[in-house]
Amino acid sequence: MPVVLFNQFKFFYNLFFLGIALSQFYPPLKVGFMFTYVAPLVFVLAITIGKETFDDFQRMLKDKELNNKKYEKLLKDGSFKNISAADIKVGNIIKVC
C-alpha cells in the first residue's frame, strides 16, 4: 500500500489535491467544507488502487498458470521427464516444440 500511494503522489494533480486538502486543516486557509476537497482525492485514489489491485491479481493468476505449464526435461539416461516450469533449474535441457 505505501508503494502504491507513493506512486500515485508522484503525479502532479494528485499531489496538488492532497496539498489543497491538507491546507483546509489550517483555519486561516479554510474556504469550504472539508468533504469538497477530500472526496475527489479519495475517489480518484480509490479507483486507482482498485485498478492496481485488479491488475496485480490478474498478474498473479497468469504467473501461476505459466509456472504450472509442463515441459519435458532431458535426463542423463536420454529419456524425458515432464516437469512444471517452476521446477526448471539453470542448466536443465528442455525440449522446445
CA distance 69 to 83: 8
In a domain, 75, yes or no: no
Could you report the per-residue pLDDT of 43-78, keeping only the tens digit for each? 989 999 999 999 999 999 999 999 999 999 999 999
CA distance 67 to 61: 10
| Structural domains of the chain, count | 1
Residue partners of 73: CB distance under 8 A and separation at least 6: 80, 81, 82, 83, 88, 92, 93, 94, 95
In a domain, 55, yes or no: yes
In a domain, 44, yes or no: yes
In a domain, 18, yes or no: yes
pLDDT given at position 3:
85
In a domain, 45, yes or no: yes
Domain that holds residue 53: 2-67
In a domain, 92, yes or no: no
pLDDT given at position 80:
95
